[in-house]
Structure 1
Amino acid sequence: MHGPATSGWLLVALCAATGAYCLLRLRSGVEEQRRTAGDEALMGFGMAAMAVPAAVYTPPQWAWPVYAVVFGAAGLRALWAARTGGHHLHHLVGASAMVYMAWAMAAAPGHGHGGSGLPPVTGALLLYFTGYVLLGGARLVPVPAVAGGPHPAGWGDRPELARACRLSMSIAMVAMLLTL
């Protein structure tokens, strides 16, 4: 992505850490956690790879279509899984955003949108992810714990950590779309 190297490296660290936590969630005892953890790990590591500052490493031209194919397949998988509900529609939008960014980077490496202003697709994705960040952040506001209430089996099974991962990846997506 284009932009300052410091913010690029912060995005790499955030996305890679989120991807690593999502890999740990694959061991969860909660089926829904396992079902979404792999998709979210792929998204986290893919975003980390895409966020590496262009001044440090510029992927070869063939890499962008590979990103598009990988995330296109992830989007199809999310579309298929969306029939059961859950966060799969969000995964579909995220995978579609990754395909869009990969094609934009392939079309104009080093130039972003070429000064043509904010394309409608970028604007729509920014609105979606900004809304997701605001709603997701509001959902993370702690509620008082009920004394003697159920405690999750492990930190990998805690739904608020999964929401925090989705929130951090959505924040990173906003940052990446702004620098596109």
Structure 2
Amino acid sequence: MHGPASPGWLLVALCAATGAYCLLRMRSTVEEQRRAAGGEALMGFGMAAMAVPTAAFTPPVWAWPAYAAVFGAAALRALWAARTDAHHLHHLVGTSAMVYMAAAMAASPAGAHVHGGSASGVPLLTGVLLLYFTGYVLLSGVRLLPAPGTAGPAGAGAATRAGAGAGPAVAWGDRPELARACRLSMGIGMLAMLLTM
């Protein structure tokens, strides 16, 4: 999981900043935002902790089973929540990927990098997760693009006028494009972590 120090620290910073923003989203007045933000904050901070370069800190032996237990519980919660909201299926895949990476780190020799080269089917699972998160990142990136007709000075002016006179402004923590950018950055982080397996 742990690659070179500089990219590792960039990944730690990205995931920690994403987790911090998700904590702020938990203060939202919108119930759906609060529910989603808690799981995303856990993912962000968990990914940040998992990405710390081994040159700076080598986790104790018990840390990887603890990661697997925490994210296993989060996966069960996401599975339960997916009964009523399909968005939680993505949380289920993400938390399951964290369990998989934690189990792979627990099974690897101390201080060794995880590479999915065994004959036990591990490369297949890594490949499936890489395909899923690549598709997710691409789709999330496309969703962040402005819709046709809203870009440019005329669209920006209309949006400003609508925001100024159409009622109360949306709090910055409740803005859907910021939540999408948060999810996109976590998807990119997950891709980076899976690539080192």
The TM-score, its normalising length taken from structure 1, stands at 0.94
Q: Which residues in structure 2 correspond to 1:69-108 (within 5 Å)?
A: 69-108=69-108
Q: Distance in 2 between matches of 1:3 and 1:111?
A: 8
d(CA) in 2 for partners of 1:179, 1:138:
26
C-alpha distance in structure 2 between counterparts of 1:82 and 1:116, whole Å: 33
Q: CA RMSD in A?
A: 1.7
Assess if the C-alpha contact under 8 Å between 2:115 and 2:196 holds in 1. no
Q: Deviations over 1:97-129 (max 9, x none)?
A: 000000000111413136448711100000000
Q: Pick from 131, 137, 143 the counterpart of residue 135 of structure 2.
A: 131
Displacement of 1:3 in angstroms is 1.0
CA contact (8 A) 1:140 1:164 kept: yes
State which structure, 1 or 2, has the greater radius of gyration over its C-alpha atoms.
2
* Alignment match, 1:178: 195
Q: Cα gap change, 1:152/1:71 in structure 2, threshold over 3 Å: closer, same or farther? A: farther
The separation in 2 between residues aligned to 1:152 and 1:169, in whole angstroms, is 27
State how far apart, in whole Å, the 1-side matches of 2:51 and 2:169 are.
34
- Cα deviation, residue 153, structure 1: 2.2
- Matched position secondary structure for 1:119: helix
State TM-score, norm by structure 2: 0.86
For the residues of structure 2 that align with 1:96 and 1:115, how far apart are their CA atoms?
20
Q: What displacement does 1:30 show?
A: 1.3
Task: Return 5+ residue gaps in structure 2 as ranges.
Answer: none
Q: Which moved more, 1:79-88 or 1:150-159?
A: 150-159
Aligned to 1:60: 60
Give % identity: 77
Indicate conservation of the 8 Å contact 1:108/1:114, yes or no.
no
Residue 124 of structure 2 aligns to which amino acid in structure 1?
P
Q: Is the 8 A contact 2:116 2:123 kept in 1?
A: no
Kindly state the Cα deviation for residue 56 of structure 1 after the two structures are TM-superposed.
1.3
5+ residue gaps in structure 1? none
The answer for the alignment partner of 1:165 in structure 2 is 182
| Inter-partner Cα distance in structure 2 for 1:58 and 1:105 | 11
